[in-house]
Amino acid sequence: MDLFGPVNVKSIMGDKYCLVVTDDYSRFSWVSFLKTKDGTFDSLMALFKKIENLYQRRIKRIRSDNGTEFKNNKMKEFCVERGILHEFSAPYTSQQNGVAERKNRTLIETARTMFADSKLPINFWAEVVSAACYNHKPNLKYLEPFGSPCTVLEPYEKFGPKCIEGIFVGYSSPSRRVFVPCEKRIIEVVNVERQGYTMPPQNPGDSW
């Protein structure tokens, strides 16, 4: 696991850091976005509980650098209590945490490409990284271009309009994330139409 930031531009949700956690066996990754480093421990605890519940397997070992967001009393007590081995890379040798470093580099390079294609402003960086990390066995029938104009085809508020224009910014299975410019916020909806056709529904079984 690794934390990158602070990003010099806050995300549209006000975040400045990105926590990247990668399973050492499958290389599957999860990302979380934080306003400050202080939220790292709580974010990891929530993720660990989710992983152990979903896969019915206990976490046995974690690896990180020596950043204070990972090397602290709360993390030490948690690992001792759960019998988890916490490995640290030696100072100034990021290659010892190579899996995390490579994943960060991959996500950032992918995000640069997506930004160049979408022409969206830099404060969408968290949404771009989240979309870039949506990594499971490809099912190309429903993948859509990041930043493409779209129309929400369902009311996301009880008395709101049935259709509203937005910008497609990623996935949150089984929903899609759409930025609504007139409200300057991101919503999660299922029924979305792009450029004259309806986006095929996602199959929840396709994603992790």
Longest dimension (CA), the chain: 56
* pLDDT tens, position by position, 137-151: 555 566 678 888 988
pTM to 2 decimal places: 0.69
Cα of 12 vs its chain's centroid, Å: 14
Say if residue 91 is preceded by a cis peptide, omega within 30 of 0.
no
Q: What is the pLDDT of residue 29?
A: 92
* pLDDT tens, position by position, 34-86: 999 999 999 999 999 999 999 999 999 999 989 999 999 999 999 999 999 99
DSSP notation for the chain: -EEE---SS--TTS--EEEEEE-TTT--EEEEEESSGGGHHHHHHHHHHHHHHHH-----EEEE-S-TTTSSHHHHHHHHHHT-EEEEPPTT-GGGGHHHHHHHHHHHHHHHHHHHHH---GGGHHHHHHHHT--SS--TTS---TT-EEEE-S-SSTTS-S-EEEEEEEEETTEEEEEETTTTEEEEES-EEETTEEPPPP-GGG--
Where is pLDDT greater, at 177 or 207? 177
* pLDDT tens, position by position, 88-112: 987 766 666 678 888 888 898 998 9
